[in-house]
């Protein structure tokens, strides 16, 4: 049964996430071809990771580290019992991010989300969730647009 | 000195989805959906096995541009459509091409193909502050 369009406008969050330096490293390591649990410590970083993590002497988050915190309201939306989505049938259709501010260790990020569209096409349901994440200074760090595709069983 | 981008610039970036990559990515990102880390779940979902998280495929596209411009903070936007799952042992080649430089932004179109030449992303665009 298609997902009811009446859920358009449903809001999720706020969710909060505190940025940690080791988590930024783990993420860069996992994306960069390394093994997170065997990552590096101290002040150095493998040469291959320098642009991802270090701007001069300052650690910043890899842009799509926002996957880690901005996904929270999206996750709440697609697991909302009133939508009745079978997660095994869900795949990620599209993703868009606009980046405004880098994230740094110690930042506290608050994310909110809203379902902006629901439609059915070719035996699949499509759910669009728009998210916004702000830092502790109230500045928007990233906006996301998430498209979930749910295949019919 | 910020690296300059010009229309027509191209670059490539190659990443392999080794056997444990979806698990490493799950650990780093928190995305433990069973279709990514459990072969049985991937098969049960009709995907033929575990698939890499789309957001890791996206991250590699961003990484291709970050490595080229050598500055993660200059990335302004990314937009992708996931057109085909990335499976274990797939090798993905990202080819970036600067198609426009205007109004403080460089637009980089990124093609992402597996070892069979099939697109795993479509319409992928990364915008860079210039």
In this model, does residue A84 exceed pLDDT 70? Answer: yes
Backbone angles phi, psi at B65, to 5 degrees: -80, -40
Of all residues in chain B, what percent carry a pLDDT higher than 90? 85
Closest to B64 measured CA to CA, from B25, B109, B129 = B109
- Listed in order, the ranges of chain A carrying CATH 3.10.129.10 are 1-19+66-153
From the list A37, A51, A61, the residue facing B67 with the nearest CB is A51
From the list A55, A88, A96, the residue facing B45 with the nearest CB is A88
Q: What pLDDT, on the 0 to 100 scale, is given for residue A41?
A: 47
In this model, does residue A35 exceed pLDDT 70? Answer: no
CA–CA gap between residue B37 and residue B21 (Å, rounded): 9
Task: Give me the mean pLDDT over the B68-82 stretch.
Answer: 94
Of all residues in chain A, what percent carry a pLDDT higher than 70? 85
CATH 2.60.40.10 fits A1-19+66-153, yes or no: no
CA–CA gap between residue A131 and residue A69 (Å, rounded): 10
Domain ranges of chain B: 10-129
HSE-up of residue A89 (Cα within 13 Å, Cβ side): 12
Decide if B67 touches A, using CB distance below 8 A: yes
Q: What pLDDT, on the 0 to 100 scale, is given for residue B15?
A: 95
CA–CA gap between residue B5 and residue A151 (Å, rounded): 41
DSSP β-bridge partners for residue A128: A117, A147
Q: At the fourth CATH level, which superfamily is domain B10-129?
A: Hotdog Thioesterase (3.10.129.10)
Closest chain B C-alpha to A53 CA, distance in angstroms:
7
Task: Give me the mean pLDDT over the A1-25 stretch.
Answer: 93
Q: Is there a contact between B27 and A62 if contact means CB atoms under 8 Å apart?
A: no
DSSP β-bridge partners for residue B101: B106
CA–CA gap between residue B63 and residue B56 (Å, rounded): 10
**pLDDT tens digits, one per residue of A40-66:** 444 555 666 666 776 666 788 999 999
Contact A98, B111 (CB under 8 A): no
CA–CA gap between residue B14 and residue B71 (Å, rounded): 19
Q: What pLDDT, on the 0 to 100 scale, is given for residue A153?
A: 72
Q: What pLDDT, on the 0 to 100 scale, is given for residue A55?
A: 65
CA–CA gap between residue B98 and residue B128 (Å, rounded): 10
Task: Give me the mean pLDDT over the B50-64 stretch.
Answer: 96
Q: Name which of A50-59, A131-140, B120-129 the model is least confident about.
A: A50-59
Widest CA span in chain A? 54
From the list B16, B55, B63, the residue facing A67 with the nearest CB is B55
Q: Is there a contact between B59 and A31 if contact means CB atoms under 8 Å apart?
A: yes
Backbone angles phi, psi at B67, to 5 degrees: -65, -35
**pLDDT tens digits, one per residue of B25-38:** 999 999 998 999 99
């Amino acid at each position: 049964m298609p997902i009811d369009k009446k859920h358009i406008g449903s809001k999720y969050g706020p969710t909060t996430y505190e940025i940690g330096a080791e988590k930024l490293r783990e993420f860069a390591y996992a994306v960069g071809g390394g093994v997170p649990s065997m990552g590096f410590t101290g002040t150095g970083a493998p040469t291959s990771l320098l642009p991802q993590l270090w701007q001069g002497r300052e650690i910043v988050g890899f842009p799509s580290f926002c996957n880690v915190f901005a996904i929270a309201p999206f996750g709440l939306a697609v697991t909302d019992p009133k939508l009745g989505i079978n997660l095994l049938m869900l795949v990620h259709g599209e993703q868009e991010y606009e980046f405004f501010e880098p994230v740094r260790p110690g930042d506290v990020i608050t994310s909110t989300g809203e379902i902006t569209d629901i439609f059915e096409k070719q035996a699949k349901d499509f759910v669009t969730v728009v998210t916004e994440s702000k830092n502790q200074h109230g500045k928007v760090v990233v906006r996301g647009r998430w498209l979930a595709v749910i295949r019919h069983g | 000195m910020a690296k300059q981008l010009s229309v027509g610039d191209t670059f490539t970036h190659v990443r392999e989805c080794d056997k444990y990559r979806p698990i490493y990515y799950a650990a780093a990102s928190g995305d433990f959906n069973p279709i990514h880390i459990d072969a049985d779940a991937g098969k049960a979902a009709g995907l033929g096995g575990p698939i890499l998280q789309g957001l890791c495929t996206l991250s590699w596209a961003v990484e291709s541009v970050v490595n080229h411009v050598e500055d993660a903070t200059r990335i302004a936007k990314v937009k992708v459509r996931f057109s085909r799952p990335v499976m274990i042992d797939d090798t993905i080649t990202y080819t970036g091409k600067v198609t426009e430089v205007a109004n403080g932004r460089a637009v980089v179109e990124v093609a992402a193909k597996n070892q069979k030449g099939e697109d795993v992303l479509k319409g992928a665009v990364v915008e860079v502050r210039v």
